[in-house]
Amino acid sequence: MREKIIEKILMVLAFSAIGILLLITVYIFKEGLPIILKVGVKDFLFNAKWAPTKGHFGILSMIISSVAVTIGAMVLGVPLSLACSITLAEFAPPRIMVLLKPTIELLAGIPSVVYGFLGVLLLVPLIRDYLGGPGLSLLAASIILAIMILPTITSISIDAIQAVPLLYKEGALAMGATHWQAIRLVILPAARSGVVTAIILGMARAIGETMAVIMMAGNALKIPISPLNPVRTLTSNIALEMGYSAGDHRTALFATGIVLFIFILALNVLANTLMRKK
């Protein structure tokens, strides 16, 4: 009887998390859908003019900025993350591996505002002095996000590489392949689904980041034509304007949250699908 009671309590707790997520989803769609239906999906998604006080609710510039910042973070962060994971999983001695992997994972515990603060103090002046522009830019936000997604991609990629059976590597070496050839031609293809999952989860982290992007991106409402241009992402727009919004303006911010929710949901579904793939 005691075990059954504990089982029921744990089941209720598990379903409570799902229920909370469902309530959040219903609330966001309930608040955001009216303005999308009022303005029209086409004007809301494909119009770049955002002036809520004048009745303009186009978020195209913010969608492009969010995608650009995320792509920039992935271009900078994925090669570094994969290099770290391959080095730690295949080349580093076990003692170094035991020390460095938890250290890299600790980077995920640093608050994003700390990343943003350090970026404003150290990175922004370098970009402004040596590359031009205001410093607060798409490039600055991408670099900070690349550092922030490093522990996620590295940790999951290490687990994926270490999950490859040792026989694969031994077979490649027995056939005359070098260590690097075995990694490139056998181990990484075998661990591909796990590595791709790590990259997608890192992408979801990048596109959903708020505080560091607010501090680094410059928050200009325009479509970027250069990495040195200031931009405003979807998450930044919600955080910056929710405090004083009302009426259709507030509803439009919830609609922006719907777009962001769909982006991240699609990435998570894709990641789960790849994780189940053999």
pLDDT tier for residue 267 given thresholds of 50, 70 and 90: confident
| Structural domain boundaries enclosing 148 | 50-276
What are the pLDDT digits (tens) for 44-68?
A: 999 889 988 888 899 999 999 999 9
Q: How confident is the model over 22-40, as a mean pLDDT?
A: 91
Does 1 fall in a domain? no
Q: Structurally, how many domains does the chain consist of?
A: 1
Q: Judge whether 179 and 141 are in contact, CB under 8 Å.
A: no
Domain with 145 in it: what CATH number? 1.10.3720.10
Does 2 fall in a domain? no
Contacts of 100 (CB under 8 A, 6+ apart): 88, 92
Query: For residue 205, what pLDDT is reported?
Result: 86
- Residue 278: is its pLDDT beyond 60? no
Query: For residue 15, what pLDDT is reported?
Result: 87
* Better-predicted residue by pLDDT, 80 or 109: 80
pLDDT tier for residue 275 given thresholds of 50, 70 and 90: low
Rounded Cα–Cα distance for residues 228 and 213 (Å):
14
Does 20 fall in a domain? no
Q: What is the pTM of this model?
A: 0.87
Does 102 fall in a domain? yes
Does 33 fall in a domain? no
Does 40 fall in a domain? no
Distances (CA, A) of 219 to 92, 136, 138, 253, 278: 42, 9, 10, 15, 42
Q: How confident is the model over 101-108, as a mean pLDDT?
A: 86
Does 5 fall in a domain? no
Does 236 fall in a domain? yes
Query: For residue 48, what pLDDT is reported?
Result: 87
